[in-house]
Amino acid sequence: MEKIWLREYPPGVPAEVDLNEFSSLKDIFEKSCQQFAELPAYSNLGVTLRYRDIDRLSRAFGAWLQQTLGLGKGERVALMMPNVLQYPVALFGILRAGLIVVNVNPLYTPRELEHQLKDSGATAIVILESFAHTLQEVLNQTPVKTVITTQLGDLFPFPKRPLVNFVVKRIKKMVPAWDIPGAMPFRQALREGAGQTLADVPLNHEDLAFLQYTGGTTGVSKGAMLTHGNLVANLQQASAWLSSGFKPGEEIAIAPLPLYHIFSLTVNGLAFMKTGVHNILITNPRDMPGFVKELGKVRFTAIIGVNTLYNGLLHAPGFDRLDFSALKLSGSGGMAVQRTVAENWRRVTGTPLIEGYGLTETSPLATCNPLSLPEYNGSIGLPLPSTELSIRDDSGRELGIGQDQVGEICIRGPQVMRGYWQRPDETAKVMTDDGYLRTGDIGYVDERGYARIVDRKKDMILVSGFNVYPNEIEDVVALHPGVLEVAAIGVPDEKSGEAVKIVVVKKDPALTAEALIEHCRQHLTSYKVPRRVEFRTELPKTNVGKILRRLLREG
């Protein structure tokens, strides 16, 4: 497809980025720590680590992984933490040691956690104590040999550190009892690593940096293999896109989305690190009063979120009285922005919501609206520099420009993953012969080059920016002895964009919706748990017996 979108690029944004400026994420990180050494890097609950602190601590952790654990290049280390100061320290320590990061959602059930640890082959995990009881249940069924545990306040200064940890554990009772023999405290690993040498591990664009788990276009959770080259490319693309409005070393960004999620990981955790941004980590954004209070403490210049988070802030008492005079960027991704939310956000803050688009498989940024966008336009923006976008029909034929040329959105560029970890069959399903990733989203490119999504080809359900796959929900529901058949679909929801609904044919006439939901809570992360249950005597099917979810969605 002709790159007509280049005509719409903001001044100074190049058509192509320099992919060879940096050899790896380690290269970018170490140069940023030198350039911005005395500037604040990450803050959490009033405590700030400067770039030199992150450099020193991550060096110690990386050395400990190498010297004490004996981990070699390419081995996998899992991270299971919310947004706390330990996350970037551990993240960059793993990468500097030449290892591969496996991000894990802290809210996973034992079943979900066991699958990811076994599939990735992770031999070590860094975990916040609040979630250690989940790991304890499945640890013996996984290849994990070393468990590093940390408490919320572990990187806070004395006396705040013991006070916060005491309140979290003893007063708020946020740490369920756990017992993992031989677990290593994170602070002890840092102390030991401080006296050890971090061996320099040569890294290049071909080396893996992350196994970032996603359902892809099916319900089977798979690890997208993201290389250092993929992430370096996406950071270069993001930096070029932000160049007109962002000043290196002068920006303050709010990070309420979890860093284990690809959107926040790349933007807040990596791209903003590259440009010396001060990230304010929000550990629990669901605590809206506490979130608003944190926002009131700083004149932030950027915030990255999803539609539901922005909607929640708009309805939070006191938010409209905050100081937005420094705000330059309100970035949104992960799920579609609703027009009413975008318009209300602009009215309250004076800045537009800038919507972007991508997938885990694209590291994730593929398209974005210009920062100079005056108001909500309903599009997912323009393809980023060095990115090609193609609209294709079911036979793979490329379509043209315009609203009547609707097909599957396909992406090609240096940020597209190498493939799925140990799943060449699944990789082949999403990659075309000429190197494009089939996104599963249906849309078109308008006459100005802006991409627009009109539907989703896959049955994926999008709950607050997180992918939920019907196959997984159905597998769990079908485990209940009272269920004969089940289908899972997404339905509109004011708070989360979409919610999970299950349509069930009973085996046991006494089966209730409450019993099914409780069953799901035992096996699924909260956002995957069905919010609605409908009972039917039969489900619509094709002549070969495949359940027609489309007919269920249509009512």
Query: Considering the entire predicted model, what is its pTM?
Result: 0.88
Domain boundary among 203, 234, 269: 203
Mean pLDDT, rounded, for 291-298: 97
pLDDT for the residue numbered 414: 98
Q: What is the pLDDT of residue 545?
A: 55
DSSP state of 381: B
CB 32 within 8 A of CB 51: yes
CA distance 176 to 432: 47
Q: Which domain holds residue 148?
A: 48-203
CATH of the domain at 52: 3.40.50.980
Question: How many CB atoms lie under 10 A from the CB of residue 541?
Answer: 13
Contacts of 41 (CB under 8 A, 6+ apart): 48, 49, 50, 51, 53, 54, 88, 273, 278, 279
User: From CA 16, how far away is CA 250, in angstroms rounded?
Assistant: 26
Q: Lowest-confidence range among 83-87, 121-125, 240-244, 334-338?
A: 334-338
CB 356 within 8 A of CB 304: no
Q: Residue 511: pLDDT above 50? A: yes
Residue that terminates a domain, selected from 203, 221, 255 = 203
How far is Cα 538 from Cα 407, in angstroms, rounded to an integer?
Answer: 33
Q: Which of 317, 278, 276, 315 is nearest to 296 (CA)?
A: 317
Query: What type of residue is 115?
Result: H
Q: Give the residue-averaged pLDDT of 205-232.
A: 87
The answer to whether 323 touches 299, Cβ cutoff 8 Å, is: yes
- Give the whole-angstrom CA distance, residue 160 versus residue 164: 6
Task: Place 307 in a pLDDT band, splitting at 50, 70 and 90.
Answer: confident
Flag whether 343 is in a domain. Answer: no
CA distance 534 to 512: 10
How much is the pLDDT for 550? Answer: 79
**SS (HEC) of 58-74:** HHHHHHHHHHCCCCCCC
The 8 Å CB, 24+ separation contacts for 45-53 are 45/153, 45/156, 45/164, 45/283, 47/85, 47/155, 47/156, 47/157, 47/160, 48/278, 49/85, 49/88, 49/89, 49/155, 51/276
In a domain, 241, yes or no: no
Q: CA-CA distance, 129 to 152, in Å (whole number)?
A: 8
Q: Is residue 174 classed as helix, strand or coil in its secondary structure?
A: coil
Secondary structure class of 157 (helix, strand, coil): coil
Q: What is the pLDDT of residues 183-200, one digit of tens each?
A: 999 999 999 999 999 999
Domain annotation covers residue 425: no
> Alpha-carbon distance 32 to 51, whole Å?
8
138, two tokens: 């499945």
Cβ atoms within 10 Å, residue 508:
12
Position 117, amino acid = L
**Residues 6+ positions from 446 with CB-CB distance below 8 Å:** 379, 401, 402, 403, 452
Q: How many CB atoms lie within 10 A of CB 331?
A: 24
Position 59 in a domain? yes
Closest CA to 12 of 271, 240, 235: 240
- Please tell me the distance from the alpha carbon of residue 99 to that of residue 442, in angstroms, as a whole number: 36
Q: How far apart are CA 188 and CA 85, in angstroms?
A: 16
187: Cβ–Cβ under 8 A, 6 or more apart, which residues? 150, 154
- Residue 80 is assigned to a structural domain of this protein: yes
- Model pLDDT, residue 525: 93
For residue 324, the tally of other CB atoms under 10 A from its CB is: 16
Residue 101 clears pLDDT 80, i.e. is over it? yes
Q: What is the DSSP letter of 455?
A: E
Whether 265 is in a domain gets the answer: no
Higher pLDDT, 337 or 136: 136
Residue 217 has pLDDT above 50, yes or no: no
Q: Is the pLDDT of residue 548 over 90?
A: no
In a domain, 352, yes or no: no
Q: Is residue 404 part of a domain?
A: no
C-alpha dihedral sign at 503, 508, 512, 518: negative
Q: Over the stretch 355-367, which tens digit does the pLDDT of each residue have? A: 999 999 999 999 9
Backbone torsions φ then ψ of 355, nearest 5 degrees: -90, 135
Smallest CA-to-CA distance from 328 within 352, 306, 348 is with 352
User: How many Cβ atoms from other residues are within 10 Å of residue 514's Cβ?
Assistant: 9
Residue-wise pLDDT for 372-402, tens only, equals 999 899 999 999 999 999 999 989 999 999 9
For 190, residues 6+ apart whose C-beta sits below 8 A from its C-beta are: 57, 60, 61, 64, 89
* H or E element, residue 119: helix 110-120
**Mean per-residue pLDDT of the chain:** 94
- Tokens encoding 110: 């034992």
pLDDT at position 542 over 90 = no
Using the 3D structure, point to which of 168, 183, 203 is the last residue of a domain.
Answer: 203
**Looking at the predicted structure, is the pLDDT value of residue 544 above 60?**
no
Structure tokens at 103: 């991000």
Domain count, the chain: 2
- Comparing CA positions, the residue from 307, 185, 321 lying closest to residue 257 is 307
Which residue, 107, 178, 187, 203, is CA-closest to 148?
A: 187
Q: What is the DSSP string of 258-303?
A: -TTSHHHIIIIIIIHHHTT-EEEE-S-TT-HHHHHHHHTTS--SEE
User: Both tokens of residue 165?
Assistant: 């940890």
pLDDT at 541: 77
Question: For 139-183, how does the pLDDT look when each residue is reduced to its tens digit (9 = 90+)?
Answer: 999 999 999 999 999 999 999 999 999 999 999 999 999 999 999
Residue 244 banded pLDDT, cuts 50, 70, 90: confident
**Token code pair at residue 184:** 């290593």
pLDDT digits (tens, 9 = 90+) for 410-468: 999 999 999 999 999 999 999 999 999 999 998 999 999 999 998 666 777 889 988 88
Residue 354 β-bridge partners: 331
The CATH number that applies at residue 505 is 3.30.300.30
